[in-house]
Structure 1
Amino acid sequence: MTENKSYQDTSNPIVLFDGVCNLCNTSVRFLMAYNRKENLHFASLQSKYAKNLLAKYNLSQTDLATVVFIENEKISTQSTAIFEISKHLIYPWRAIENFKYLPKSITDWFYKLVAKYRYSWFGHKKECMIPKAEWKHRFHG
């Protein structure tokens, strides 16, 4: 994990995720596989790095039920974050972005439903995921 980078260095888009959630960890591995440009970076919401970023943007440091996506100083959460992240994936996964044209109330409702039950449906770990050696340069924390 890159400890020497300042939390204010957001030159690459960054995904903040629940590091103990099995669904979230599987999603990060999915993003790593289909982000061929390798420009997405990651940090668990439990990390000091993420807490500093959340504080910088006046976001809750205790809400682990939402993904946070930061790109060019723009913050996205919940379903909007998913759509923004999908722009960085290869096809056909990039097409997920097209769901942003659905009403936000519907996409966020679905997001919140999955987020609410993610631990009971997919389980969770006691500790945050340790990234593979070849991925460590893309993780902060």
Structure 2
Amino acid sequence: MAAEPPVIVFDAMCVLCSANAQFVLRHDKAGVFRLASMQGEAGQALYRRFGIDPADPDTMIVVRDGMALRDSDAVLAIWGGLGWPWRAATALGFVPKRLRDAVYRLVARNRYRLFGKRESCWLPSAEQRSRVLR
């Protein structure tokens, strides 16, 4: 039985988060990741499954092998899954997790103020739709 592909749950209203989702779709040549917005049913269900309030999330997650990676661990998992040259960024894993997560949470808390908020959710192109869960 084949393993389920990892799923990135992200905020499709956030300009930074949706830009990251588009980046993943563009650079994930092997099709490793699926995406789910926290505004959609699949994303909300995954957030609830891992104890995160979808109406007030404090992190994006990467769900892999039945577990949720949060904060900077989720970012490192994404970079690692994209292959070269993006995988090189996983070298930041040497930075202590407490420090990585503190920086992640600072940006996450201020994401709308720093990067903006969309009027409506980002929607994938027709060719990307098969990789985005609803």
Paired residues, number: 132
Out of 114, 117, 124, the residue aligned to residue 124 of structure 1 is: 117
Task: Say what the alpha-carbon RMSD is for the aligned residues.
Answer: 1.5
The structural deviation recorded for 1:114 is: 1.1
Give CA deviations for 1:47-103 in whole Å, capped at 9, x if unaligned: 111111222333333333411100111210110100111111131211121212211
Matched AA of 2:86: W
Q: Is 1:102 matched with 2:95?
A: yes
- Which residue number corresponds to residue 68 of structure 1? 61
Unmatched segments (≥5 aa) in structure 1:
1-9
TM-score (normalised: structure 2): 0.91
Out of 45, 49, 52, the residue aligned to residue 45 of structure 2 is: 52
Runs of 4+ in 1 over 6 A off after TM superposition: none
Percent identity over the alignment?
A: 28
C-alpha distance in 2 between matches for 1:70 and 1:104: 19
Out of 25, 28, 32, the residue aligned to residue 39 of structure 1 is: 32
C-alpha distance in 2 between matches for 1:105 and 1:56: 24
